[in-house]
Amino acid sequence: MNSPSPDTSSSTRQADRLNLQPASGYAGDVSPELAWSWVQSGEAVLVDVRSDAERAWVGFVPAAVALAWKHWPGMALNGSFDDGLKKAVPAGKKAVMLCRSGVRSIAAAKRATELGIAAYNILEGFEGDGDEHGHRGNSGGWRFRGLPWKQD
């Protein structure tokens, strides 16, 4: 007798994507939607760790604290990151870290954890991964998910 196939309904896939995923060195990985729900409820502060240039050229989340992990050009570490993060995230609140594709935000979440802040990486980042043509924003990310953002 064949065993039943796993439930792959749309609602099950959506629920799986919204769940917190464990991580090493920081509190975990969360979907853009879960991060946004935490920000809206006041549980978390959204910290956009992209460079000022990225936010200006690609777009930004109005509710986010802009605190670059690295500065453009050259991508040197931001020497003011620790102090800025401590000021931005009140005691008892979570920090949800956002970058372009979810790489720098992992490093920032690890540093926040070292500073005693419960920090999470936002999966897919602001733009998501590149597609087969190297274009971002077509298959994942904050913008693709229809969450709030603006562009100057």
pLDDT in tens, 106-130: 999 999 999 999 999 999 999 988 7
Cβ count within 10 A of residue 132: 7
Per cent of the chain over pLDDT 70 is 88
Is the peptide bond preceding residue 73 cis, with omega within 30 degrees of 0?
Answer: yes
Taking the CA atoms of residue 132, residue 33, residue 98 and residue 81 in that order, the dihedral angle to the nearest 10 degrees is -170
Cβ count within 10 A of residue 97: 31
Per the domain annotation, does 6 fall within a domain? Answer: no
Per the domain annotation, does 49 fall within a domain? Answer: yes
pLDDT in tens, 15-61: 455 678 989 999 999 999 999 999 999 999 999 999 999 999 999 99
Q: What is the CATH number for 102? A: 3.40.250.10
The total domain count for the chain is 1
Per the domain annotation, does 126 fall within a domain? Answer: yes
Give the pairing type, strands 76-77 and 70-71. Answer: antiparallel
Residue-number span of the structural domain to which 47 is assigned: 29-147
Per cent of the chain over pLDDT 90 is 70
Q: Which amino acid is residue 65, in one-letter code?
A: V
C-alpha–C-alpha distance, residues 113 and 141, integer Å: 23
